[in-house]
Amino acid sequence: MGQLTTHILDTSHGMPASGVDIRLYSLGADRNSIAYAKTNADGRTEKPLLEGKAMLAGQYELEFDIGNYFRAKGLILDEPAFLETVVIRFSVKAGEHYHVPLLTSPWSYSTYRGS
């Protein structure tokens, strides 16, 4: 059975990003909210965002509220922050495992398909 997982690494502090709000949307004719999570102390969600029969082929978006995370870390950010919310759009096949990590700082981010 397939599943979708994620985690966030704060590259400016060299640590996992905890307490970040994450939203998952399915994209098609409409944009539908299908999952919400907050990262734990390890920068991960407590369970997969999608798994089993809910893991349908298609296009998705993950939204990460990193502006609030960096403010909570005491960083003085421009208002609005350069990266308030990071959005990653990606596609999946049914039945496969997808891990979509976010490596971020207040001014940059990268992602990849992890294992």
Q: Detail the DSSP E strand segments found in 28-85.
A: 31-38, 50-51, 58-64
| 105 closest CA partner among 11, 8, 9 | 11
The whole-model pTM stands at: 0.93
Residue pair 84/21 in contact (Cβ under 8 Å)? The answer is: no
The pLDDT tens digits for 46-89 are 999 999 999 999 999 999 999 999 999 998 878 888 899 999 99
Q: Which fold has domain 3-111?
A: Immunoglobulin-like (2.60.40)
pLDDT at position 111 is 98
Residue ranges covered by each domain of the chain: 3-111
User: Which residues does 32 contact at the CB level (< 8 Å), separation at least 6?
Assistant: 25, 26
68, containing H or E segment:
helix 66-72
pLDDT in tens, 28-40: 889 999 999 999 9
pLDDT tens for each residue of 98-112: 999 999 999 999 999
Confidence of residue 1 (pLDDT cuts 50, 70, 90): confident
